[in-house]
Structure 1
Amino acid sequence: MSEGEAVLTGKVAVVTGSGRGLGRAYARAIAAAGAFVVVNDVDADAAADVVAEIEAAGGRAVPVIAPVGPTATAGALVAAAVEHFGRLDAMVTNAGVLRDRSIGKMTDDDFDVVVETHLRGTFTCARAALARFKEQANEDQQSGGRLVLVGSPAGQRASFGQTNYSSVKAGIVGMARTLAVEAARAQVTVNALIPVALTRMVATVPVFAEAVAAVERGEPVPAELRERGVGTAEDVAPLLVYLLSDAAAGITGQALGVGGDKISVWSHPTVAAETSRTGGWSAQAIAEAFPGELAQHLQPYAPDLPAEASR
């Protein structure tokens, strides 16, 4: 299955934050696969450019210019899909911002704006989409729909200087698991997409700055980066197309990663080791037992730097 195959013919999707970078690649790919797309961004010119690109390729798209986070924006996105295309089949919550600083330098505003856009924006858009899916089920007796919530490796492992971003991306993956349970009866699938791509949002990471510049010049991603799972935004988009297609109807509650030459399934948090003591534990008993029974199971928390190439 390639992103150009018409596997989404007639479906209607909203992609938040789709004026540039990963969002632009998502919107273009699902349009190429046959979907009608609501392109959302805060930059009217960027959104208009993406709509024009989709239409020039024979697709259909409309822009909605609004910041993601407020409930009113989520409602407007769903309303635009229904007004222009008659229904809603998929919501892709991609919009995001960065305010990178180590915690001692991070302000309340730095933290709050990231939470508002990523976490609250994902919540409000997912809630609005689910409400529309249920309404459509009542209207035409056909339940179903797709939610794809965009996470990041920064939410799965440590990412220095991104306390705010790591927190919301971890929260988004947790949200996907819970929504998958809540939406199962309506036959709505909910998955988290964990992309790794060389975009402008990654250019601030020194080791990737030149690679991002090279990609923007139209040069290929170096083979050693592709092999480690770092590629372009266009490398990520086919997984999204697949998740929105009928072929992925049985996949839900998952965190799926893609980048460069790799696709991955991230594990859910699970108990790595445990031990018991009749009557409970004292601090002294823990100190005695921990080195021999638990310490060897402690988990790595920080990745090799290339795995941080998703912003």
Structure 2
Amino acid sequence: MLAAKRVIITGAGRGLGRAYAIAAAAAGASVVVGDIDTDAAEQTVAAIRASGGNGVAVTGSVADWAVARALTERCVQEFGGVDGVVANAAIMSTADPWDEAEDDLRAIAEVNILGVQFTARHAMRAMVESGRGGSVVTVVSGARDGIAGMSAYGASKGAVAAMTANWALAGHAHGIRVNAISPLGLTRMSQADHRSDRPPMPDPSRVAPVVTALLSDASAPLTGAVLRFDGTMLGRYDSSLHTFATSPAGWRGEDLAAALVLEAER
């Protein structure tokens, strides 16, 4: 499905990122495995090679412009170009918003927002310059719609959803498609979600096929989508506006407040 494709996958030392990298390689792609943990990245590469695949590791934080650039440079040097990138690397801390530490807030913004932008920027530049286009896959989360204790993480994923929509528009003329996934898988990060109603967490290997599909030319007509996938159910988030009240004559503050209360009570 990905024969002759050259792809970059960040945060690929463990969890979902590792599953994405192994699945992409099994589908025929040559993979640059990015991770801040050198041993974990090398272990993913070893697993890829043990199965007959082709992979190399680049280690360091995607929040570092030079590291993000090195991911693309290594892909071009080793494999001859870049056809796809999965900007998966992210971090999370849990706290009530009034208890967030400055260091945690900065780190989440730098890795989850700037790191995604840095990684995709360099990869998309290579795609534009090659004239071949490609596929960009970003990663969002249900936390952007509200999960207790995950306000900073959710805010960063809301930013990624906005990037996805805008990059899809910009990339269209260059044959670059951009889609986001909101995956549900059993990882160290997902285990930090202690909600009593937390849905069952599937093994990451069951979630990986959606990334393989998005990197493939077989899904080329799709761009600008935010998808939800848990290994069984596939869905798409609807960004349409719901208008719940109108007043052609204009609004007073009191009337607006009354309309808002009615909407809250629906």
Question: 1:262 deviation in Å?
Answer: 1.2
- Unpaired stretches in structure 1, ≥5 consecutive residues: 1-6, 138-142, 209-224, 298-311
Query: Residue in 1 aligned with 2:191?
Result: 203
Runs of 4+ aligned residues of structure 1 deviating over 6 Å after TM superposition are none
> Cα gap change, 1:229/1:255 in structure 2, threshold over 3 Å: closer, same or farther?
farther
Query: Residue in 1 aligned with 2:109?
Result: 115
Aligned equivalents of 1:257 and 1:290: distance in 2?
A: 29
Aligned equivalents of 2:231 and 2:4: distance in 1?
A: 29
Query: Residue in 2 aligned with 1:222?
Result: none
8 Å Cα contact 1:195-1:258 kept in structure 2: yes
The one-letter amino acid paired with 1:44 is: T
Aligned equivalents of 2:11 and 2:203: distance in 1?
A: 17
Query: Residue in 1 aligned with 2:222?
Result: 251
Q: Give the one of 128, 134, 149 matched to 2:128.
A: 134
Q: Give the one of 48, 52, 61 matched to 1:58.
A: 52
> Cα gap change, 1:105/1:279 in structure 2, threshold over 3 Å: closer, same or farther?
same
Deviations 1:106-153 (Å, cap 9, x if unpaired)?
A: 11111110111011111111111111011111xxxxx32010001111
254-263 vs 82-91, which deviates more? Answer: 254-263
Aligned equivalents of 1:109 and 1:16: distance in 2?
A: 22
The one-letter amino acid paired with 2:227 is: L
Q: Does 1:235 align with 2:206?
A: yes
Q: Does 1:151 align with 2:133?
A: no
8 Å Cα contact 2:30-2:79 kept in structure 1: yes
Aligned equivalents of 1:249 and 1:65: distance in 2?
A: 30
Query: Residue in 1 aligned with 2:257?
Result: 287
Question: 1:276 deviation in Å?
Answer: 2.7
Q: Give the one of 10, 22, 36 matched to 1:28.
A: 22
Aligned equivalents of 1:179 and 1:290: distance in 2?
A: 33
Aligned equivalents of 1:153 and 1:288: distance in 2?
A: 30
8 Å Cα contact 1:229-1:258 kept in structure 2: no
**TM norm structure 2:** 0.94
The one-letter amino acid paired with 2:202 is: G
- Unpaired stretches in structure 2, ≥5 consecutive residues: none
Question: 1:290 deviation in Å?
Answer: 4.3
Question: 1:92 deviation in Å?
Answer: 0.5
8 Å Cα contact 2:143-2:151 kept in structure 1: no
85-94 vs 254-263, which deviates more? Answer: 254-263
Query: Residue in 1 aligned with 2:2?
Result: 8
The one-letter amino acid paired with 1:78 is: T
Question: 1:232 deviation in Å?
Answer: 1.5
Summarize the alignment of residues 179-198 of structure 1 with structure 2, pairs less than 5 Å apart.
Answer: 179-198=167-186
The one-letter amino acid paired with 1:166 is: G
Query: Residue in 1 aligned with 2:157?
Result: 169
> Cα gap change, 1:203/1:278 in structure 2, threshold over 3 Å: closer, same or farther?
closer
Aligned equivalents of 1:251 and 1:244: distance in 2?
A: 11
Number of aligned positions between the proteins: 266
The one-letter amino acid paired with 2:143 is: A
**TM norm structure 1:** 0.81
Aligned equivalents of 1:56 and 1:64: distance in 2?
A: 19
DSSP-derived class of the 1:267 partner: coil
Percent of matched pairs sharing the same residue:
35
Query: Residue in 2 aligned with 1:101?
Result: 95
Aligned equivalents of 2:104 and 2:264: distance in 1?
A: 36
Aligned equivalents of 1:260 and 1:135: distance in 2?
A: 35
Aligned equivalents of 2:107 and 2:151: distance in 1?
A: 13
257-266 vs 228-237, which deviates more? Answer: 228-237
Aligned equivalents of 1:289 and 1:170: distance in 2?
A: 27
The one-letter amino acid paired with 1:136 is: S
